[in-house]
Structure formats: C-alpha cells, structure tokens
Chains A and B, each alone.
Chain A
Amino acid sequence: ETGVTQSPTHLIKTRGQQVTLRCSSQSGHNTVSWYQQALGQGPQFIFQYYREEENGRGNFPPRFSGLQFPNYSSELNVNALELDDSALYLCASSGGYLADYEQYFGPGTRLTVT
C-alpha cells in the first residue's frame, strides 16, 4: 500500500449535480496530482497542487477545481456533472513537484454519472 487514501470509493451522481472527492496524501508529501481515467483508457492529468497552490493544469474545463489544505490533503470538485465525467479519479502524492519525486497513487474513486 502507498499510504495515499481516497474517499469515497464509489459514488453515483445525476447529471448537473456537483461532487467533491477527497485525497489524503502520504505522510511527508507536499504535492498532490489528480487524474481522470475513463474506462479502457490511460489516466489523464487534471491538475497538481504544491503547497496549497495550483501548480499546473491539464486540458480540463474550469468546472473541475481543487483545493489543497495545510496538511496537504486535497479535494477535487466537479460542478455541473456530465455523463462523460463518469470515470475513475486517481490522486497521487509526492514529496515535491519535480519528476525526480515518485508519485504514489491512491486506490481511486469510481464516479458514475447517470
């Protein structure tokens, strides 16, 4: 196990609703990255937080937003849910934002939008 935890494990929402996913980083890690993995695809980078500031963003619309807290845990918020948002959402924590630092992934949250 990596020590990265995510909650909830599974979630079912209706189109148009809002959702918040949570990630607790590994002890000593100050960087959290979020990824979306659609069924049968590789994960896609959403954004990264380093010491409570957004530190890079992928090609996702503004309705995907995030937060990082002083204890370096993080939230991913998605507004106005669409059917295509159904996916496995993975967070990864690392000791820094540089690629020298290995990213440790959590088990993911499976979001289903109906």
Chain B
Amino acid sequence: AQKVTQAQTEISVVEKEDVTLDCVYETRDTTYYLFWYKQPPSGELVFLIRRNSFDEQNEISGRYSWNFQKSTSSFNFTITASQVVDSAVYFCVGGTSYGKLTFGQGTILTVHP
C-alpha cells in the first residue's frame, strides 16, 4: 500500500514570497512515480510535475522547482516569487508503475496581494 503525507494543511504567504510544500511518500515498490497536482477553486486538477523513483536529479521549471530525496522519501515542491493566481489546493501524489494514483490530503495555499 502507498501512503502520501503532506506536512502542511494550510499555508498563507504574501505575494512574491517563496513557498515550499512538503511531502513524504511511503511505499514498498521499488519503482514508483511522484507528482504534484494543483486544484484551483474551479475544481479541475492540473498536472504540474512528475518524477520517477530512479531519478533524483532536482529540477527547475519556470517558477516551480522540486527536491526529491529517495533516502527520506521526501518530494518537496517550491514556488518562487508566488503570485495571487497560485492560490489553490496542491496535492502530492504517488503512483505505481500501473498508473494507480494515491493522493495526499492536500495543502491549501493562499497568496495575499
């Protein structure tokens, strides 16, 4: 069984601040995938990033960056220079090789102007 734990229930920041969302993924699988999804108030889930378990290279994509450490099962996500439009619920998601996704409880991010 897979388990996804998101450390923060809610985060509130002021625009232009950097914000990091923490996630721990527990699984017995040796091959797995990690994702971050965003759910704005409209409700539709939006894919942000994906990382597989055998690639620990950290990356930056625009204002998004992520840090995957297999030894601690952590997969943290950072938004640089946050904007009001970033306000949403962010889900850390673990996936098996066969596409079954397990979602965390979500972190509500509010960015104030």
- Which residues of A line the B interface, CB within 8 A? 2, 31, 33, 35, 41-45, 48, 55-56, 58, 88, 90, 92, 94, 96-99, 101-108
Number of A-B contacts (CB under 8 A): 65
Chain B 84-96: CB-based contact to A (< 8 A → 1; otherwise 0): 0000000100011
Also in contact, A104 and B47, with CB within 8 A (given A42-B91, A99-B95, A99-B97): yes
Q: Are B47 and A103 interface neighbours, CB within 8 A?
A: yes
Question: Any chain A CB within 8 A of the CB of B101?
Answer: yes
Tell which of B44, B97, B104 touches A107, judged by Cβ atoms closer than 8 Å: B44
Q: Are B43 and A107 interface neighbours, CB within 8 A?
A: yes
Q: A33-B101, A43-B91, A55-B98 are in contact. List 8 more A-B contacts (CB 8 A).
A: A35-B101, A42-B106, A48-B99, A58-B100, A94-B99, A103-B101, A105-B37, A107-B42
Tell which of B47, B98, B102, B105 touches A98, judged by Cβ atoms closer than 8 Å: B98
Question: Any chain A CB within 8 A of the CB of B33?
Answer: yes
Q: In the complex, A45 Cα to B37 Cα: how many Å?
A: 15
Q: Are A2 and B99 interface neighbours, CB within 8 A?
A: no
Question: Any chain A CB within 8 A of the CB of B50?
Answer: yes
Q: Are B97 and A105 interface neighbours, CB within 8 A?
A: no
Taking the closest CB of chain B, its distance from the CB of A102, in whole angstroms, is: 6
Q: Are A2 and B44 interface neighbours, CB within 8 A?
A: yes
Taking the closest CB of chain B, its distance from the CB of A33, in whole angstroms, is: 7
Also in contact, A106 and B44, with CB within 8 A (given A42-B105, A56-B98, A99-B33): yes
Q: Are A42 and B99 interface neighbours, CB within 8 A?
A: no
Could you list 14 examples of A-B contacts with CB < 8 Å? A41-B105, A42-B103, A42-B104, A43-B45, A43-B101, A48-B99, A56-B100, A92-B45, A98-B97, A98-B99, A99-B32, A99-B33, A99-B99, A107-B43
